[in-house]
Structure 1
Amino acid sequence: MALLPDLKKGKRGAIAKAISIMENDPKEARKLIKKIYKLSGKSVVIGITGPAGAGKSSLINRLSMELKKLKLKPAVLAVDPTSHVTGGAILGDRVRMTESTDTGTYIRSIASRGATGAIAHSVRNSLRVLEYAGFNPIIIESVGAGQTEVDISKIADITVVTFNPHTGDSIQTIKAGITEIGDIYLVNKSDLDGATQLFQALQDFIGTDEEEAVILKTSAKKNKGIKELASKLKELMKQKSKDKKTSEKTRLESELEDIILNNVRQEISTMIGKSKSFSSYLKKVQEKKIDPFEAADKLTKNFIK
C-alpha cells in the first residue's frame, strides 16, 4: 500500500487520504486496518465533550499549543453531528482552531453519520490512522447531543466534560449522569458571570472528596487555566498508559460486539428486503389481523433459523 510510508512519517496528505478512506470506503478501510492494526492501541485518547456553545473548539486550540510545549504530539478529531440533508459535517469549518494547526497539530472534522450517540465506526479507525502516524495524545471533540457524552467515555481513556456558565441548563446537565464519566470537569468561559456559581455547583454535585475527579476553571479567550489543564492531562496520561492494556481489551470487546451486531443488522435488512413472508405478515398487521409484536416474533424465528 503506497500510502503507508507517508502515513508512518505523519505526512498530512497521507493522513487526510487515510481518514477519508475510513469514512467513505469500507472495502479499502478494511485493507488499511489489516496493515496498521498491530501497531494500534498505544496512544492515549482524550475525549472532550459538553453542550454546544461551551467553547470547546477555542479551548482545544489553546490546549493543543500547551500540550506541544510539554513535548507531546497532539492530534484532534472533531466529531460533528451529521447534516441529514447532505450527509456532510455541519460544523465542518474549524476556524477557531487555526492557531494550533499552524503549529503542527493535525485537526480533522469527521461526520458522525447518525451512529449511536454520534460516535461512529470511522472514529475508531481514524484513531488508528493517527496512532500509526505517531500522534499522542489524540483529542476527540464531540458536541453533547443525547448519548454522545456517555458514548465518548467508551472510546476515550480520559474524559473532559466542559460547561459554560451561560448554558442555562448546565446544572440540569450536571445531574443527568454526566458526572459519572468525567476525569476532569471544566467551567470554560470562566471570565463570564455565573462561572463561580457553576464551579461551586459542580463541586456540590461531584463532591470534592472524590480524588479522581478534577474541577477546573478555564478561559480560552483570556488564556487562563489552560496551562494547568495541560499539565493535569499529561499527569493523567502517565497513569492511563499503565492501564492501557486492560482498557484496550474492554474497548475491543465492545468494538467486536458492535461490528457483529452491525453485520447481523445488514444481513437481516437484506433478508427483509427479499422476504415474501415479510410482505404477507405486513399485510396481516395492516389489516389488524395480527399485532406487530406477534408478527415480528414469527418473522425473527424465520430469519435466524
Structure 2
Amino acid sequence: MLELLSDLKKGKRGAIAKAISIIENDEKEARKLVKKIFKQSGHSTIIGITGPAGAGKSSLINKTSIALKKLKLKPAVLAIDPTSHVTGGAILGDRVRMTESTDSGTYIRSIASRGATGAVSHSIRNSIRVLEYAGFNPIIIESVGAGQTEVEIANIADITVVVFNPNTGDSIQTIKAGLTEIGDIYLVNKSDLDGASQLYQAVLEFIGMTERNPIVLQTSTTKNRGIDEFAKKLKDLMNDMKKSKKEHDMERLEIELKDIILNNVRHKLDSVLESDKNYSKYLKKLQLRQIDPFEAADKISSSILK
C-alpha cells in the first residue's frame, strides 16, 4: 500500500490504474485506500459533461483537454460506461476518440455504471479522490444522457456541461424534458452541421434566458471551432466557484454519508429479513392475496423496529 501511495503521489499511470481497479472491485482494500487519501482530497474541480448519445462528447472532451492543458491545467477524464464492465462496451470507441489528449498527458479511464443507482456515485467519488491525490485538476466526468445517471452526475459535479447536437432529432424535446435544470454551460456541438444555428437559438430561448442564466456556446470539433472559448469559460468558472466550493463539498459529503448509511442499513435489513419469522408469515399471506402489500409491509416493519 505504501508503494502504491508513493507512486500515486508521483502521478504514475500504472499506480492510478491499479488504485481505481481496487476502488471498483475490492471493497475491503478500497476502504483502506480511501482512509489513506481522504484528507488530501476535495481540492479539484469536478466537471460533469453529459448529453444524448451521439452528441460528440468524447471528441469534444479530447479537444477540450488539450485546450485546458494549454491553459496550464492538468485534466483527467472518467468516462462512465453504461454497458458492460466486462466488455468495455462503448468506451473502447471513446478511448480511440480520445487518443490525442491521452498522448498529451491527460489520464482517461472508463468506469462501469453496473446499471445501479448509487453505484455510479460510489465508484466515481472514490476514483475522483484517487485522481486528486495524483494531482489532477480539473477532473472531467463523461456520462451518456440516460436519466438517473444525469442527476447523480449533477450531484457530484461542481460544473455541469450539457452537450446537444443538431443530429439528434428530438433535441428540442430533450431540452424541454429535463436537462434544463442542471447545466452551467450548454453546448451545441457539431455546429458545422445543418440545423445547428436553429438549435442554438432554441437552447438560448428555452434555457439561456432563464433566471439561472447559464452559458450557451457553439462548438465544432471537426472545424476546431469554439473549443478554446469553451476551455476558457471552464477555467473562469473554476476560479469563480472557488468561494462556493467548500459549501458544495459539505453538501456532497452529507449526501455521500447518507448513501453509505442507507446502504449499510439495506444490507443489515436483508439479513434480518431472511431470518425473520414474521417476514415469511406475512409474505405467505401476501402471496395468497389474504392481505395487501402495504399492510404486509407495515406489519413486518413494526415487528422489526420494535
Q: TM-score, normalised by structure 2?
A: 0.95
Q: The residue matched to 2:146 in structure 1 has which SS?
A: coil
Which amino acid in the other structure matches residue 301 of structure 2?
T
Q: Match of 1:129? A: 130
In structure 1, the gaps of 5 or more residues are none
In structure 2, the gaps of 5 or more residues are none
Q: Does 1:275 align with 2:276?
A: yes
Q: The residue matched to 1:139 in structure 2 has which SS?
A: strand
Q: Match of 1:101? A: 102
Q: Following superposition of structure 1 onto structure 2, how do residues 42-53 of structure 1 map, counting pairs within 5 Å?
A: 42-53=43-54
**Inter-partner Cα distance in structure 1 for 2:266 and 2:212:** 42
Q: Match of 1:186? A: 187
Which amino acid in the other structure matches residue 250 of structure 2?
K
Which amino acid in the other structure matches residue 9 of structure 2?
K
Q: Does 1:246 align with 2:228?
A: no
State the shift of 1:147 in Å: 2.1
State the shift of 1:244 in Å: 1.2
Equivalent residues, number: 303
State the shift of 1:88 in Å: 5.3
Q: Does 1:90 align with 2:89?
A: yes
State the shift of 1:276 in Å: 3.0
**Inter-partner Cα distance in structure 1 for 2:155 and 2:121:** 12
State the shift of 1:114 in Å: 1.9
CA contact (8 A) 1:117 1:146 kept: no
CA contact (8 A) 1:162 1:186 kept: yes
Q: Match of 1:71? A: 72
State the shift of 1:148 in Å: 2.1
Q: The residue matched to 1:223 in structure 2 has which SS?
A: coil
State the shift of 1:206 in Å: 1.2
Q: Match of 1:31? A: 32
**Inter-partner Cα distance in structure 2 for 1:286 and 1:278:** 12
Q: Match of 1:57? A: 58
Q: Match of 2:165? A: 164
CA contact (8 A) 1:113 1:120 kept: no
**Inter-partner Cα distance in structure 1 for 2:298 and 2:86:** 34
Q: The residue matched to 1:282 in structure 2 has which SS?
A: helix
**Inter-partner Cα distance in structure 1 for 2:67 and 2:271:** 50
**Inter-partner Cα distance in structure 2 for 1:78 and 1:99:** 16
From the superposition, tell whether residues 241 and 173 of structure 1 become closer, same or farther in structure 2 (CA, over 3 Å).
Answer: same
State the shift of 1:89 in Å: 4.1
Q: Deviations over 1:85-138 (max 9, x none)?
A: x66542231111011001110000000112327733010000000000000000
State the shift of 1:304 in Å: 2.9
Q: The residue matched to 1:4 in structure 2 has which SS?
A: helix
Q: Does 1:204 align with 2:205?
A: yes
Q: Deviations over 1:50-75 (max 9, x none)?
A: 01110000000000000000000000
Bigger Cα displacement from structure 2, 177-186 vs 56-65: 177-186
Q: Match of 2:258? A: 257
Which amino acid in the other structure matches residue 26 of structure 1?
E
From the superposition, tell whether residues 268 and 87 of structure 1 become closer, same or farther in structure 2 (CA, over 3 Å).
Answer: farther
Q: The residue matched to 1:126 in structure 2 has which SS?
A: helix
Q: Deviations over 1:12-33 (max 9, x none)?
A: 0000000001101111010001
Q: TM-score, normalised by structure 1?
A: 0.95
CA contact (8 A) 1:81 1:118 kept: no
Which amino acid in the other structure matches residue 16 of structure 1?
A
Identity of matched residues, %: 71
